[in-house]
Structure 1
């Protein structure tokens, strides 16, 4: 218990992720098409155990005798400059180079996003990576209690919501959940004593709002029937999620019953679809585990972003294929690594646990590691849902390494004398 209390953020993030998965699956009227295999349960259990063992296996020395420390104000200022510049370049790329528009259909915007991409636009490509630092100023301001620096705090809150622009353009629901978790985990970690019924109430309202926005984006993106009739609900039940994790017959009958109000149906549909989003990844993994003819890709699936970046900048010409038989559905983090490494996946979870311990202890010493700590805690929450190491999720780690490089270059300008002992 002492260890759990000492590292409550690590264990809490894992526990919360498991809790929301179990609640989504147990409470909601959902039934898997295929029964859960013993191999799937054992594989997931082995991955969690390896992660925890890796976290507990090592301790990293903390140097508390530094004469000079990073300036909070100067670091946040540098971050704001990088983030604002990156997003301005990103929006120029989206609106003027790729011709995306809020007026366009969401699927058409996605087509334009791929079709009108220009290679060799190195600056625009780098900006698309560095924009992943968008939540760093917010986390640092909360962690360092910079309430007296109102301009920096206001700017930090503003850039936190910059990803919403692209999310609305492309019909991507993930940023809404991500921003909510960033705020929630940061407040729990560094303003726990200030949590009250008012903040809890606001959090509940935020969850309901996110669910509503998520459903509206889905309706618009998939061009579902504008009339909330039987055809509308049939379209919802034909989504990719339903191929593996379907609503029960009782739930389907509820939506087909004309005596139930439209409002109650939409509310129930929003909750159920969110539950499918959360719970279905485990059953996607269950579907592919021990599947014949599934290629072993040795990292090419999880880390496909790296060859994509090299291809876009013309530094390489690497063929990229999606080996997953389920195409673009989420497979959990464990499932994504299973495609790459099969039963060696726990080894990588062990190493990820070691990395988390290093970040955790460094964050106690230096505020610059705090945003990365929050990020890995979010990864822990989503372990049973999706893989943050696949796709743009890995950009945050690359951007952080770049930030450390900048801090080293501008060390004389960004450091100040420590007031500690």
Structure 2
């Protein structure tokens, strides 16, 4: 690796990230059923029909995992809260054990000198709300505001930062248009409404947290560089359309108070009545912008209905996910976000790679991950040298975990998890990072 802390600005924060359903073990502690449990139980949706019932058993191994986090030497831990753990029916009475768990998590971080960075929602919608239409339902902002108040009335006085919803594109498009995530729909009307209600819910959640006296509130957006597959006008149009519904839709709604025309071309007829009146809520002021970045898409045109495009395989080296390694996209997005929200600091809230890591004689060598992190941090350093106000970099993920529809076979972690024994083995990347973060 080509850097140490002294090569980065004073106060630059390093962190690691996880999410609730992917590590906690959802069968424990009184958590209610989620739409991911139902999605995984439906044949063909998830590799080997695996779910998050046990996951990494973080629920019972909290202290051990926090000690590993402290040993890494990070400044920040970005975690999420499970809606169904806190409110098993989505609304109504809270689960005391669930709130106690997040209380213990936050206190454990503070005891170890680590800043708690909370994300309220990372995709595990309570099944009771999914039964009522989930993100398609216009009542979602009210439900999400009530969930926000329940959680943050308990831990909001001690978290360092908070964000409402992780990766709104995944919650809206990937789950309702492509059907790759729960609830597994392929319906443009459902997609348009889900995407809009996610944004209104984000705004309502920010309002609630401000009302509780909280600060350092942000939004977390997954961005994927939209690359024309060739030099044709059709490929250029395909890339522009992809950029509009993937990247610009959510960012421009929050920072410009409008949806891009190239996205409205397909989604506009299906948005809920009166959607134009919701931007005052969507545009709640933020204190920072979070960027989750992994890869690019190479876009080619297709015949047929909007959006009229497909992703094709590109020439660059790929991760275990089949994603191209393209640090230049992160550099470009940092400049784009800085131009869109010039007064706000930026954090890389997720960046990392899946790799087919194995334990050999008690160790895990993962030089590919170190090279990936190094290349993306170099992109960050270039952007900062050119004036981008980037304040931190959080690695996905602390440990191998449940990778949603891909089950347990894709390994993003700095820590290897044996999903039979649940043995934790810090990888070479963990040790290398720890040596540079001290």
TM-score with structure 1 length normalisation?
A: 0.29
Structure with a larger share of its residues in helix: 1
The higher relative CO (CA closer than 8 Å, separation ≥ 6) is in 1
In terms of Rg, which structure is larger?
1
